[in-house]
Amino acid sequence: MNRLGLSSSSATAPRSRANVITPPALSNNRAPLAGSVDNAGDDSAITIRVKDQTGEETMYKIKKSTTFDKIMHAYAMRKGVEAKSLRFYLDGEHIGPNNTCAELELEDEDQVDVILAQVGC
């Protein structure tokens, strides 16, 4: 036994994968957000590309019934900015937080543009 009262075999044994806890934000078993549209049979996953002003692309694999609110918040967290400071566009048209990929008729590998809103005097 060591000074912590553990035998040497348990103190150096590698942790099993079963002991790892997935944070709720990364869990795949999340309940849908309020206001999300559930189109039965239209939940196939697609990959969308979110491209910023510098040309950097971020890919998201999502269901067609997912609201853009989730994408907007995930992108904002990744970039370290507030979601309300970002504007998302599809072919020059503004995308609202309650829009879904199905409503916008997005297909696999479609591109969404994002810009950082400028606030002036």
Q: Does residue 23 fall inside a structural domain?
A: yes
- Burial class for 66, CB neighbours closer than 10 Å (0-12, 13-18, 19+): buried
pLDDT in tens, the chain (121 residues): 444 444 444 344 444 444 444 444 444 444 444 334 444 455 789 999 999 999 999 999 999 999 999 999 999 999 999 999 999 999 999 999 999 999 999 999 999 999 998 876 6
Question: CATH number of the domain that 58 lies in?
Answer: 3.10.20.90
H helix or E strand, kind and range, residue 115: strand 111-116
Answer yes or no: is 3 within a domain.
no
Q: Residue 121: its pLDDT value, please?
A: 63
Q: How far is CA 5 from CA 10, 14, 16, 27, 56, in A?
A: 10, 18, 21, 35, 52
Containing structural domain, residue 70: 8-116
Give domain status of residue 1, yes or no. no
The number of folded domains in the chain is: 1
Burial class (CB in 10 A: 0-12, 13-18, 19+), 27: exposed
| 45 domain-assigned | yes
